[in-house]
């Protein structure tokens, strides 16, 4: 796989394509939506400054970078009192805020490793191979985490 630096337009395109799902992904690690956006912006600003070499298929790289940055932020702020999380992660096509909030709660209750796989696969549009690469897990492990996570979500969102 060839590595290369990205132009400003490349970075902008990647942000448009992956930004929303990456902010959602960062929200799994940090206390509030503002911090999650800051984490994602930090990763993309490094790309803009040409300081990072990015592989041809950058999705797994981006999720790994956001995860590392989010964990650093969480560690740096660990002594701060956690704020009550009032952020809304999702919008629903039919403006069903209640359903969006229920999904957010259900996602919160998933184990970390299942939750991140579900987010990458459903909202990041990644293949299971990319998810496995991003999470440093074998393909079978990533696939079973996805399956279990999906089943639990379905159970919790049952009407």
Smallest separation, CB 102 to another protein (Å)? 10
State how far the Cα of 152 lies from the Cα of 7, in Å rounded to an integer. 41
**Distance in Å, CB of 19 to another protein, minimum:** 5
Name the helix (H) or strand (E) containing 24: helix 8-27
105 forms part of the interface with another protein (CB under 8 A): no
Contact status: 29 vs another protein (CB under 8 A): no
Cβ(88)–Cβ(104) under 8 Å? yes
Give the number of other Cβ atoms within 10 Å of residue 59's Cβ.
22
Is 148 a binder of another protein (CB under 8 A)? no
**Candidate residues 99, 108, 109, 140; the one interacting with another protein per rule CB under 8 A:** 99
Residue 131 binds another protein, judged by CB under 8 A:
no
Number of residues that bind another protein (CB under 8 A): 32
Q: Is 63 in the site for another protein (CB under 8 A)?
A: no
Which helix (DSSP H) or strand (DSSP E) does residue 7 occupy? none
Question: How far is the C-alpha of 28 from the C-alpha of 11, rounded, in Å?
Answer: 23
């Amino acid at each position: 796989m060839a590595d290369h630096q990205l132009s400003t337009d490349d970075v902008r395109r990647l942000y448009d394509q992956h930004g929303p799902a990456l902010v959602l992904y960062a929200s799994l690690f940090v206390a509030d939506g503002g911090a999650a956006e800051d984490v994602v912006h930090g990763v993309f600003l490094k790309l803009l400054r040409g300081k990072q070499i990015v592989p041809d298929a950058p999705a797994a790289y981006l999720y790994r970078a956001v995860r590392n940055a989010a964990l650093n932020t969480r560690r740096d702020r660990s002594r701060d009192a956690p704020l009550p999380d009032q952020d809304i992660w999702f919008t629903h096509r039919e403006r069903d805020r209640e359903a969006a909030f229920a999904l957010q709660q259900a996602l919160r209750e998933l184990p970390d490793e299942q939750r991140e796989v579900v987010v990458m696969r459903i909202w990041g549009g990644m293949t299971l191979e990319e998810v496995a690469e991003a999470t440093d897990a074998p393909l079978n492990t990533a696939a079973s985490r996805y399956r279990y996570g999906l089943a639990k979500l379905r159970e919790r969102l049952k009407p």
